[in-house]
Amino acid sequence: MLVDGIVFADDVLMAQIREDKCLDQVANVACLPGIVGPSIGMPDIHWGYGFPIGGVAAFDLDEGVISPGGVGYDINCGVRLLSTNLSIDDVRDRVPDLVRGLFRNIPSGVGEGRKDLKLDHEGAVRMAERGARWAIEKGFGSSEDIGLIEEGGCLEGGDFDLVSDRAYERCRSQVGTIGSGNHFVEVGYVDQVLEPHLASRLGLLPGGLTVIIHTGSRGFGHQICEDYLRALQRAATKYRIHLPDRQLCCAPFRSEEGRSYLAAMKCGANFAFANRQVITHFVRETFEHVLGLSPRDHGVSVVYDVCHNIAKVETHIVDGQPRKVCIHRKGATRAFPAGHPEVPEAYRDVGQPVLVPGDMGRYSYVLVGSPNSPDFAFASCCHGAGRRLGRKAATKATRDRNILQELKDRGITIAAASRATVDEEFPEAYKDVAEVVEVVRKAGLAIPVARLRPVGGIKG
Amino acid sequence: MFEFLDHTADIAVRIRAASGAEFFEEAARAFLALLLDLDSSSAEPRRELPLHLEAEDAESLLVDFLNELIFLFDTQRMVVSEIVVEDARLESPASLRATLRGETFDASRHTARTAVKAATFHGLEVRRTSEGVEAVVVFDL
């Protein structure tokens, strides 16, 4: 190990964390060349491929590396939160209709995208290089949305020429789809306001209806990751980088291979921004059709959109000095404090919103970046609850249960493409996100602002 | 034969086979069991496609093979129900020549279990054993 590994956790979470091999993975990341600061694990850390999920690592631009394993297959998997003008009390009876409408309107599971959204080559290039801006140019949303997305919904410097034909084939019919696994669109409401002033600045009022979108770059991002894992395995041999695990493959940040991966990864990230933007439009359409409300009346607005699988060049304080680093966040979000120039203007004095979904049955949290976050955390925060049970164990635990009915009895309507997914994603498969957020609060990584409770959702 | 093993976020499958050819047949069966609910649906060999893969080693070949099945489903909606292996070489450089048989996914007859993002290199090792070949491959879901 070239540097320390630091994991944020309390005794309860640490006992769970020790059950899989994610701590070995924190140690493996600490062995990669040019790592700056510690190899970090967030409190929702669990076993990933190469890098752990819930891992953060920064690398020097001259001596360090960039790794597709530090980003993950689902490039720019992320979360978008929408607020509305509606209160849960106004629409509680209509939630089942709303969920059915969302399920009809937003392709999920293994389904293809809507026929009117099939991309030709030129469209794919524009989408991959412009991200959410492409979606808005196509009429999916308004320009006001752009300022409320991390990086303005577009990572500059994406180069479609560095993306394979196979990746292009996989992106053509997948814009505007949520996919399966842990991805979802969830309807909920603000059930607890923890910081009233901050919450109201984010447009989150008690009882206010909200929508969370969790998805990423679909097959397009997966193919980019797959292609570059292979290319960077060769690069690691070429540059004589010792790899404790093949999934940790990497190339020097400034090498041709490293630069190519970054430019291709940006295309994947932009697809994900476009995807969440198009889905936002589908959500607005659904509110209009199902509830018969005008856009002014439902007021579905973007609160924020965060990436949680990404590599970026950012400036951070290292050894008391500002320094540019290539930071990898895999299953971790950025969390800039108030005053940081990269926080959108609307929230500059509040801090960057951090979106931490929990499980289908309990709650999710909205936080903002904290000025008290230690420098060595590189302004990062957790991204979710983290799984407690593997998928096989979850399937076994739910064999004699009807999870959809149990959730319905708790006032949560779920529509899903696959019963298997619902069972694998049942609430107890996850840690209690409140415990994860409590560690975040105590460590000063971010400030909890509001808690959201689900009333319905669609799953893949 | 194959069996699913647990992995915190995703799923792993152990594949055991007497020969290289059987190894890829089992890998295809495991992938099908991941993709479809086989209690309520089955895939028929209605169309076929030739496949020829070359890779630097057996691990890369297995990952390429499984990712090809994911790619075919993602782009052509093809569900591969069986493969006929003409030649499988696990020694480096590794190669596979086979015919894939299957049909187009039809939601009225097929129940999908989950979309699969990728087969990974995570801890992957294709081992020769006294009974043949064995590997544990982790899928990102």
Average pLDDT over residues B47-51: 97
Residue A460 confidence (pLDDT): 85
- Give pLDDT tens digits for B63-104: 999 999 999 999 999 999 999 999 999 999 999 999 999 999
Contact yes or no for A110 and B35 at CB 8 A: yes
A24 in contact with B, Cβ within 8 Å: no
B70: enclosing H helix or E strand: helix B58-76
- Whether the pLDDT of residue B40 is over 90: the answer is no
> pTM of the entire structure?
0.97
- Please report residues of A whose CB lies closer than 8 A to that of B5: 392
Is any Cβ of chain B less than 8 angstroms from the Cβ of A408? no
Q: Touching check for B19 and chain A: CB below 8 Å?
A: no
8 Å CB contact of A110 and B118? no
Residues 6 or more apart whose CB falls under 8 angstroms from that of A238 comprise A257
| Partner residue facing A393 (CB), from B6, B59, B140 | B6
Residue B137's CB is within 10 A of a number of other CB atoms, namely: 26
**Interface contact B111, partner A, CB < 8 A:** yes
Q: What residue type is A49 in one-letter code?
A: Y
A390 contacts B6? CB cut-off 8 A: yes
Whole-angstrom Cα distance, residue A28 to residue A1? 7
- Is there a contact between A179 and B115 if contact means CB atoms under 8 Å apart? yes
- Show which residues of A are catalytic: 383
Q: Do B115 and A180 touch (CB under 8 A)?
A: yes
From residue A63, alpha-carbon distances to A326, A360, A389 in Å are: 11, 43, 38
B105 close contact with A: CB closer than 8 A: yes
- Cα–Cα distances (Å) from B120 to A289, B10, B67, in that order, read 42, 11, 9
**Is residue B118 within 8 angstroms of chain A, CB to CB?**
yes
Nearest to A421 among B7, B9, B114 (CB): B114
Which residues are registered as beta bridge partners of B102?
B47, B80
Parallel, antiparallel or unpaired: strands A5-7 and A35-46: parallel
ipTM score above 0.85 = yes
Please name the residue that has the structure tokens 């890998």: B27
Q: What is the dihedral of CA B63, B66, B67, B69, to 10 degrees?
A: 160
B11 touches chain A (CB under 8 A): yes
Cβ contact (<8 Å) for A73 and B140? yes
- Number of residues that this document lists for chain A: 460
pLDDT in tens, chain A (460 residues): 999 999 999 999 999 999 889 999 999 999 999 999 999 999 999 988 889 999 999 999 999 999 999 999 999 999 999 999 999 999 999 999 999 999 999 999 887 888 889 999 999 999 999 999 999 999 999 999 999 999 999 999 999 999 999 999 999 999 999 999 899 999 999 999 999 999 999 999 999 999 999 999 999 999 999 999 999 999 999 999 999 888 999 999 999 999 999 999 999 999 999 999 999 999 999 999 999 999 999 999 999 999 999 999 999 999 999 999 999 999 999 999 999 999 999 999 999 999 999 999 999 999 999 999 999 999 999 999 998 888 889 999 999 999 999 999 999 999 998 888 899 999 999 999 999 999 999 999 999 999 999 999 999 8
B88: left (phi over 0), alpha (psi -120 to 50) or beta: beta
Contact B115 A390 (CB under 8 A): no
Q: Find chain B residues with C-beta within 8 A of A219's C-beta.
A: 70, 74-75, 117
